[in-house]
Amino acid sequence: MLETLVRHLDMIRLTVVAASLLVAMGCSGLIDGGSNGNLTPEEVAARRLWTEKALPQLQANCVICHNGSRANIGFVVGDNDLAIRDAILAYTPTVANLDAPSSSRILTKGIHEGPALDAIQTSDILEWINAEKAAVPDPGEDGPRLETAQILPTICTSGLPDSPGAPNVNCLYNNIPLDEIGAVGAKIQFIAQALGSGLYLTNLKLVPAAGGAFIDHPLFVAYPADAEAKADTIDRFFSVKMNLMATATAEEQQIGGGTAAFVGFFSTDKISIHFKAISAFKPDEVGPPPATGCLRLAEFKANAAQPLQTNCASCHAGGGNPNAKSAVNMDNLLSAVDDDVLLACNQIRTRMNFQDLNLSGLYLAPAPANNNHPFRFPSQAAHDTFKNAVQVWALAEQTAAP
């Protein structure tokens, strides 16, 4: 409800802007959007922000690699400004998320082979995405329902759900049913723990029923009792698409490595999951891409785990820095339980660039010259030592057959 209210406030503001534009242009009635036919005032406002604010920032900082010249990352492509806008909005996996503008991947990607956006660049692009959101017509009651009911998660305070003597009343699985939104019998399952800074989910799975389950782009949203709804700050599951038959293994059911820390979600907040699309198993859909978890755990344990623990865990693990942990969770690097180390390795793996290992976020973030990350190695030599150790695992992982 708050969301609707906020959206309406936005529209009122935009309508005022658009109305003054109309006066300035000395015309009345609907605005002629040229080849695009008649546009609503909200659409006019969004397009203006695109050409004046968002596009210039993307052109200055991102276009060089994202203009289609390189495979699989061409989201800033098109013959004219409007075509580029259409391409970026239609790009899959979603990089501009109208359901949670500030979580959009183009804003939250951070340093990778490309640079991180600074505060002004971020706000220019965010303003545009917010305006695009306000310009989307309300689907009304007839539109497809893509969001689960809101549930108050049960917090696990000790042990695990399957510990001996189960059920363990101190640690129960949470199950969010997907029946009402198109995947009959299927559910999202997880264990929830409260961190001072947010909510920490493990064993996060899509559990299919007899008809299987298909989900595209799950987005977690928290609903505090007395504040605005907030979405996962980094839209981490933007590229998650799962198409499971009833027979899917526990491993195949895992969502994005199976663990996620949501900064700013509190244990007293209800949560829901929003999807871009959801249904029963889709026989025609191309199967899920091969699992992208770590394949070379032995090398990870022998070479990468210790240097990561020594240099990074103070912020990226335990009660460290919530934002750090949300970006890359490094809990359990040195655990004696391989399954736990695997979760850490899976997280680290998402920060590797297997086309060119030297350009991996894991190496770029703590580089001595990077002012965007709170920790930098004090010298090139120290950075090299770290990198050379981790690289033993990375090279093994790069060539490992799935």
Q: Shortest approach of ligand HEC to residue 56 CB, angstroms? A: 12
Under the binding rule (CB under 6 A), the answer on residue 73 touching ligand HEC is yes
Under the binding rule (CB under 6 A), the answer on residue 215 touching ligand HEC is no
**Lookup: tokens for 246:** 């009833």
Q: Shortest approach of ligand HEC to residue 4 CB, angstroms? A: 28
Under the binding rule (CB under 6 A), the answer on residue 111 touching ligand HEC is yes
**Candidate residues 315, 333, 343, 396; the one interacting with ligand HEC per rule CB under 6 A:** 315
**Candidate residues 85, 109, 217, 301; the one interacting with ligand HEC per rule CB under 6 A:** 109
Tell me which stretch binds ligand HEC (CB under 6 A): 152-160, 207-215, 294-302, 311-319: 311-319
**Candidate residues 95, 201, 343, 396; the one interacting with ligand HEC per rule CB under 6 A:** 95
Q: Shortest approach of ligand HEC to residue 65 CB, angstroms? A: 3
**CA 136 – CA 131 distance, rounded (Å):** 9
Under the binding rule (CB under 6 A), the answer on residue 314 touching ligand HEC is yes
Tell me which stretch binds ligand HEC (CB under 6 A): 114-122, 192-200, 203-211, 331-339: 114-122
Phi, psi of 188 (to 5 degrees): -100, 130
Cβ 190 vs Cβ 202: under 8 Å: yes
Q: Which of 275, 284, 283 is nearest to 178 (CA)?
A: 275
**Candidate residues 12, 19, 25, 64; the one interacting with ligand HEC per rule CB under 6 A:** 64
Under the binding rule (CB under 6 A), the answer on residue 324 touching ligand HEC is yes
CA dihedral 3, 9, 12, 16 (to 10 degrees): -130
Q: How far is CA 7 from CA 1, 156, 181, 229, 331, in A?
A: 10, 35, 23, 12, 38
Instruction: Name, in order, each residue with C-beta under 8 angstroms of 169's C-beta and a sequence gap of 6 or more.
Output: none
Under the binding rule (CB under 6 A), the answer on residue 14 touching ligand HEC is no
* Burial class, 35, CB count within 10 angstroms (exposed 0-12 / middle 13-18 / buried 19+): exposed
Cβ 134 vs Cβ 127: under 8 Å: no
* Residue entry with tokens 């920790």: 375
* Residue entry with tokens 């199950």: 175
Q: Which is nearer to ligand HEC, 206 or 365 (CB)?
A: 365
Under the binding rule (CB under 6 A), the answer on residue 198 touching ligand HEC is no
- Print the binding letters for residues 339-378 with ligand HEC: x by CB under 6 A, - otherwise: ------------x-x-------xx--xx-----xxxx---
Tell me which stretch binds ligand HEC (CB under 6 A): 22-30, 45-53, 291-299, 312-320: 312-320
Q: Which is nearer to ligand HEC, 296 or 316 (CB)?
A: 316
Amino acid identity for residue 257 in this structure: G
**Lookup: tokens for 91:** 């790009």
**Candidate residues 6, 21, 65, 395; the one interacting with ligand HEC per rule CB under 6 A:** 65
**Candidate residues 170, 321, 335, 398; the one interacting with ligand HEC per rule CB under 6 A:** 321
**CA 149 – CA 212 distance, rounded (Å):** 20
Q: Shortest approach of ligand HEC to residue 74 CB, angstroms? A: 10
Q: Shortest approach of ligand HEC to residue 252 CB, angstroms? A: 22
Cβ 125 vs Cβ 101: under 8 Å: no
**Lookup: tokens for 77:** 């492509």
Q: Which of 328, 336, 331, 335 is nearest to 317 (CA)?
A: 331
Q: Which is nearer to ligand HEC, 116 or 201 (CB)?
A: 116
End-to-end CA distance of the chain: 46
Number of shown-chain residues binding ligand HEC (CB under 6 A): 39
**CA 25 – CA 228 distance, rounded (Å):** 37
Q: Which of 69, 255, 45 is nearest to 131 (CA)?
A: 45
**Candidate residues 105, 205, 301, 349; the one interacting with ligand HEC per rule CB under 6 A:** 105
The contact set with ligand HEC (CB under 6 A) reads 61-62, 64-66, 73, 95, 105-106, 109-117, 311-312, 314-316, 321, 323-324, 327-328, 351, 353, 361-362, 365-366, 372-375, 386
